[in-house]
Amino acid sequence: MVNVGPMELIIVLVIALLVLGPKRLPEAGRAVGKGMREFKDSLSGINDHDDDEDDGEPHTIRDGTTSSSSS
């Protein structure tokens, strides 16, 4: 794996600042952070929503009662 030191990080940040400009740099940082978070969550199996299709039928809960999901 490649070691990235502080000098390399400064060079990358300066290039990003020159290419994107001061107004778009925070937006790009947020987009990269969100993408990394989604990638990490997908690898660890954490989902905020159910990917299964909802057919509108009530779902059976363990105690025998039914519940209709309204999403």
Domain ranges of the chain: 1-48
Residue 64, CB-side half-sphere exposure with 13 Å CA sphere: 0
For the question of whether the overall pTM of this predicted structure is more than 0.75, the answer is no
What pLDDT is recorded for position 21?
A: 92
- How far from the centroid of its chain's Cα atoms is residue 51's Cα? 16
Banded model confidence at residue 1, pLDDT cuts 50, 70, 90:
confident
| Residue 71 confidence (pLDDT) | 47
Please give the pLDDT value at position 15: 94
Cβ 60 vs Cβ 70: under 8 Å: no
pLDDT tens per residue across span 6-61: 999 999 999 999 999 999 999 999 999 999 999 998 888 765 555 555 555 665 66
